Amino acid sequence: MYRYDEFDERFVRERVAQFRDQVGRRLSGSLTEDEFKPLRLKNGVYLQLHAYMLRIAVPYGTLSSKQMRQLALIGERYDRGYGHFTTRTNLQFNWPKLRDIPDILDLLADVEMHAIQTSGNCIRNVTADHFAGVAQDEVEDPRPTAELIRQWSSLHPEFDYLPRKFKIAVTGAEHDRAVIKAHDIGLRILRHPDTHEIGYEVIVGGGLGRTPMIGKVVREFLPKADLLAYLEAIMRVYNLEGRRDNKYKARVKILVHEIGTEEFSRRVEEEFARLDGPSVNADPAEVARIAAYFAPPAYETLPATSGAFEAARAGNPDFARWVETNLTPHRQPGYAALTISLKPIGAPPGDATSEQMRVVADLADEFSLSEIRVTHAQNLVLPHVKLSDLFAVWQRLGEAELATANAGLITDIIACPGLDYCALATARSIPIAQALAQRFADPARQKEIGVLNIKISGCINACGHHHVGHIGILGLEKRGIESYQITLGGDATENAAIGEILGPGLAAEDVPDAIERIVSVYLAQRQAGESFIDNVRRIGLAPFKAAFQDTNREVSHAVA
Amino acid sequence: MPLLDRHGAKAEIWTRSEGAAIDNLSHALVDWAVLPEALAQKTRDQRIGVVIPNTVRIPELKLLMRQLSLIAISFPSFGDGRGFSLARLIRNHGFTGTLRASGPLIVDQFAYALACGFDEVELPEASAVRQPVEQWVQALGQISHGYQRGYGDSGNILDRRRSARLKHAAAG
Ligand code: HEM
Ligand code: SF4
């Protein structure tokens, strides 16, 4: 994992002091409320329905056990004993007091963490594949790139007052687990087909929100050394040309859409050619310095299988089921990456209590080289667990209600905070997730259905990624009543797609039935081994629409 | 309107012209719309400055830049950051005169403005009253070093790490 040097340490400490000063200037009247608002947002402080909310950055989803313990402590001391992991791998506390926030920031700085740029019209927390450094399909670890971008984008003098927020994601693998095509910039590390040199495919203009768009390739191959200069060129074009007349049209996706990918790319290339790359780019020694922190840890040399593990699996069906869903193969023989589901049936997706955070931290110390990952699906990962330790880890997780065997299944639901917390919400989302999880709780049925991503947002802003859910649920408000719009066929991977609306909105209590019908169509029509999303692609929307309309006809309270 | 630079308050030497009429002003500040007309009247020892909106494109400005001693970029609001990029572009295209940020900036943008190539900030009266000059100067020291190479000369972190490495290599 990356460790701060004296410069990083000083930077973060000075940023905390600067925030204290900003709060002071607001209180003394030097800053108006309008002037202070972006300053607090750029330090992760939101005003929500009931209280302030603090969003803490977990850069590229990597946490140490020590950092996790500090989050547990903050949750206990300054919140209500829990935190919420988000789809951007951040952690949110929903109930801190404004006056405590500088102290919380100090505690974060003690463990090399911060809340810098977790909100506001600036470059946000950079995300990456949560199986970085572990995945078998990886060309190069994306974390050194993400860390370089984290540093470069922090308090950038030119790009801190952008037209709108700006999100960057990086993957180094063939299979995209970082949703890079739904980001303002998505970077895919790849090898040049001819020279085999490592570089980036650069994708710009993806985004969700009220106008969902899939990103476009603006550069097929960018040499690695040119990264920062190229990013500078993209950001400069966007900062100057992005729309500022309408905040709903201010994201870079709209600029790319309006002027066309080719013209956008031409402007970026022109600026990139003109600017003095060597004066902007990090020198290779700096890139190497960062990369060294992500060198593979000291693994033991182990056989590819473990007798104890196989025996436990054969002897315990619950363990076997968990292994089947929550384990990801590791590139190091004898190890596995395991997903800790934060989606126990009936609980708000993504929440973890301080107690649970400590359990995860302890397990990471004992069994996973002190490392933890946060995923965009709002789960946690222990990335380096020996097969022979898995049974013990599973038992300990179970005691803390962290051993739900549902990673990737229908009850592994992404949901935004919705009307329970969020000031912008038009409907609840957490209770919908809870009702669906309860409806599909039966493990045998979940297994039968297989991989199926349900994603729920409580308003058009799409924080719950509903557009790219295999099944997406969007909560709206129609004449004072919550109305849920169902979409089908979205995909968050390298085959990224925006889901299509199935029909009129439904009342909250009818959502589980509607989902049930959609699932029944799949179960009836699938071919052997065909996943839900593959089935939707093959047979198209029509059969699902027909079934959906039946639901609509039967229920009395369908909301038009 | 109050003016300041990295050292504190600064006296204004520029006079806004009435339209293109620069008469015998020694330092005439003219609007972008009338710049060509004003330049046509410029005498040898007159200095001309221009106030530009933040939407001006470099190709439009570039040919005139050599005749200008000051460019003031308007910030319609502090949240509109186009001026930062425009300043960078103007500097990158070789402008060596004075660059001024003109509008309701806030103290927290001062270091950014300087790093992007501005020399000074001209504030509306109301902003200056709320944010006294001392706050601006003090804010400059709040973050000792940034990460970005090529912005200002304050010793960015990447270059500092680099010199530490070189020193280390030379010593070792
Ligand atoms: C609770 C307070 C929150 C507020 C006020 C808020 C506000 C917003 C707004 C206004 C947008 C739309 C931006 C746009 O279209 O340009 C948005 C998008 C988004 N937010 Fe949130 N959000 C909140 C919480 C969250 C949470 C908890 C998560 C993670 C679970 C999240 C993750 C996202 C993501 C992933 C997007 C979509 C990004 C995109 O448009 O490309 N937000 N949010
Ligand atoms: S999608 Fe809407 S309701 Fe949900 S968190 Fe985002 S802004 Fe709030």
Q: pLDDT per residue over A222-280, tens digit each? A: 999 999 999 999 999 999 999 999 999 999 999 999 999 999 999 999 999 999 999 99
Tokens for A209? 């929100």
Q: Which residue has the tokens 């408000």?
A: A477
Among the listed residues A448, A158, A256, A273, the one whose alpha carbon sits nearest the alpha carbon of residue B84: A158
Q: Which residue has the tokens 């470069």?
A: A152
Can you tell me the distance from the alpha carbon of A444 to that of A437, in angstroms, rounded to the nearest whole number? 14
Per-residue pLDDT band for A559 (boundaries 50, 70, 90) equals very low
**CB B109 to CB A7 under 8 A?**
no
Can you tell me the distance from the alpha carbon of A473 to that of A136, in angstroms, rounded to the nearest whole number? 32
* Local confidence pLDDT in tens for the 172 residues of chain B: 899 999 999 999 999 999 989 989 999 999 999 999 999 999 999 999 999 999 999 999 999 999 999 999 999 999 999 999 999 999 999 999 999 999 999 999 999 999 999 999 999 999 999 999 999 999 999 999 999 999 986 689 999 999 999 988 888 6
Distance A461 CA to ligand 1 centre (A): 6
Cβ of residue A154 closer than 8 Å to a chain B Cβ: yes
Lowest mean pLDDT across A154-168, A324-338, A525-539, A545-559: A545-559
Side-chain half-sphere of A411: how many Cα atoms within 13 Å?
A: 27
Strand boundaries in A162-244, DSSP class E:
168-171, 185-191, 198-204, 216-223
B57, B116, B161, B165: best to mutate for the A interface, most A CBs within 10 A: B161
Cα dist. A448→A139, A314, A442, A443, A519 in Å?
33, 20, 10, 9, 11
Kindly tell me if the per-residue pLDDT of A178 is higher than 70.
yes
Domain boundaries, chain B: 3-141, 145-172
Kindly tell me if the per-residue pLDDT of A4 is higher than 80.
yes
pLDDT value of position B137? 97
Q: Is pTM beyond 0.90 here?
A: yes
B135 contact residues in A (CB cutoff 8 A) = 25, 30
Ligand 1 proximity of A58 Cβ (cutoff 6 Å): no
Instruction: Evaluate whether B152 touches B163 at the Cβ level (below 8 Å).
Output: no
Can you tell me the distance from the alpha carbon of A230 to that of A528, in angstroms, rounded to the nearest whole number? 46
Write B57-62 long-range contacts (CB < 8 A, 24+): B58/B89, B58/B90, B58/B93, B61/B90, B62/B93
The residues near B53 (Cβ < 8 Å, ≥ 6 apart) are B32, B74
Q: Whose CA is nearest to atom 17 of ligand 1?
A: A461
B142 contact residues in A (CB cutoff 8 A) = 14, 17-18, 21
Domains and CATH numbers, chain A: 6-110 (3.30.70), 133-292 (3.30.413.10), 307-399 (3.90.480.20), 414-554 (3.30.413.10)
The strand pairing partners of A213, in sequence order, are A207
**CB A275 to CB B146 under 8 A?**
no
Can you tell me the distance from the alpha carbon of B40 to that of A395, in angstroms, rounded to the nearest whole number? 84
pLDDT value of position A553? 59
Can you tell me the distance from the alpha carbon of A374 to that of A361, in angstroms, rounded to the nearest whole number? 13
Mean pLDDT computed over every residue of chain A = 94
Can you tell me the distance from the alpha carbon of A202 to that of A189, in angstroms, rounded to the nearest whole number? 9
Cβ of residue A9 closer than 8 Å to a chain B Cβ: no
Can you tell me the distance from the alpha carbon of A344 to that of B93, in angstroms, rounded to the nearest whole number? 58
Chain Cα centroid distance, residue A312? 33
Per-residue pLDDT band for A552 (boundaries 50, 70, 90) equals low
pLDDT value of position A1? 92
**CB B107 to CB A276 under 8 A?**
no
Of all residues in chain B, the one with the smallest CA distance to A157 is B112
Per-residue pLDDT band for A457 (boundaries 50, 70, 90) equals very high
Per-residue pLDDT band for A50 (boundaries 50, 70, 90) equals confident
Kindly tell me if the per-residue pLDDT of A359 is higher than 70.
yes
Among the listed residues A255, A120, A253, A141, the one whose alpha carbon sits nearest the alpha carbon of residue A187: A141
Can you tell me the distance from the alpha carbon of A360 to that of A397, in angstroms, rounded to the nearest whole number? 8
Ligand 2, pocket residues at CB < 6 Å: A 416-418, 422, 424-425, 457-459, 461-464
Lowest mean pLDDT across A87-91, A201-205, A246-250, B110-114: A87-91
pLDDT value of position B139? 96
Kindly tell me if the per-residue pLDDT of A558 is higher than 60.
no
Pairing of strands A82-85, A91-93: antiparallel
Distance A179 CA to ligand 1 centre (A): 15
pLDDT value of position A560? 40
Of all residues in chain B, the one with the smallest CA distance to A160 is B81
The minimum CA-CA distance between B22 and chain A, rounded to whole Å, is: 31
pLDDT value of position B168? 86
The minimum CA-CA distance between B27 and chain A, rounded to whole Å, is: 29
For range A381-401, the mean pLDDT: 98
Distance A306 CA to ligand 2 centre (A): 45
Please name which ligand lies nearest the alpha carbon of A92. Answer: 1
Distance A180 CA to ligand 1 centre (A): 16
Kindly tell me if the per-residue pLDDT of A448 is higher than 80.
yes
Kindly tell me if the per-residue pLDDT of A556 is higher than 50.
no
Partner B, chain A 68-127, Cβ-Cβ below 8 Å: 121
Of all residues in chain A, the one with the smallest CA distance to B56 is A240
Give the nearest partner residue to A158 out of B88, B147, B162, using CB atoms: B88
Cβ of residue A3 closer than 8 Å to a chain B Cβ: no
Ligand 1 proximity of A496 Cβ (cutoff 6 Å): no
Q: Which residue has the tokens 């594949």?
A: A129
Of all residues in chain B, the one with the smallest CA distance to A154 is B147
For range A192-220, the mean pLDDT: 96
The residues near A282 (Cβ < 8 Å, ≥ 6 apart) are A148, A152, A227, A228, B149, B158
Distance A415 CA to ligand 1 centre (A): 11
Tokens for B140? 């400059």
Among the listed residues A370, A364, A308, the one whose alpha carbon sits nearest the alpha carbon of residue A340: A364
Can you tell me the distance from the alpha carbon of A522 to that of A533, in angstroms, rounded to the nearest whole number? 9
Burial-class residue A541 by CB neighbours within 10 Å (0-12, 13-18, 19+).
Answer: middle
Distance A462 CA to ligand 1 centre (A): 6
Report the run of H or E that residue A264 belongs to, with start and end.
helix A261-274
Ligand 1 proximity of A251 Cβ (cutoff 6 Å): yes
Q: Which residue has the tokens 């809870």?
A: A434
Of 3.20.20.70, 3.40.50.970, 3.40.440.10, 3.30.365.10, the CATH number of B3-141 is 3.20.20.70
Can you tell me the distance from the alpha carbon of B31 to that of B21, in angstroms, rounded to the nearest whole number? 11
